[in-house]
Amino acid sequence: MKLVASVILGSVGFFGVAYLMLTILPCLDLTCLYSTLLSRIAWFLVHASASLAYSVYQGVVRQLHYLVVSYNSGEVKTWTHGILTDWPERR
């Protein structure tokens, strides 16, 4: 009985991992020919989370920039200050 359970558990685990890999594979390579029913959902989840992570990163960098660069009345005193002042608008 234990042997049958072990064989079934092993085969279900193997095919579960294979299904998971086939689900994630189109997210990594857009020209992948293999996909599952959940591949489109996984693609949207991966890209939405990457977009959210980038937005959070950009917000943190912008806040750090405003903390480091002091605000003055618009006059740029040095070349480096001009680069740091114009950086958020160039992105």
User: What is the total count of domains within the chain?
Assistant: 1
Does 9 reside within a domain? no
What global pTM score does this model have?
0.56
Asked, for residue 80, whether it belongs to a domain, the answer is: yes
* C-alpha of 60 from chain center: 16
How far apart (Å, rounded) are the C-alpha atoms in residues 58 and 60?
Answer: 6
Does residue 71 fall inside a structural domain? yes
In a domain, 25, yes or no: no
Q: What is the mean pLDDT of the chain?
A: 84
Distance, CA of 84 to CA of 70 (rounded, Å): 10
84 lies in a domain?
Answer: yes
- Please answer whether residues 44 and 52 qualify as being in contact, where contact means their C-beta atoms are separated by less than 8 angstroms: no
Domain that holds residue 80: 53-91
64 within a domain of the structure (yes/no): yes
- For residue 89, pLDDT over 80 is answered with no
Q: What integer pLDDT is reported at residue 17 of this predicted model?
A: 96
Residue 78 pLDDT more than 90? Answer: no
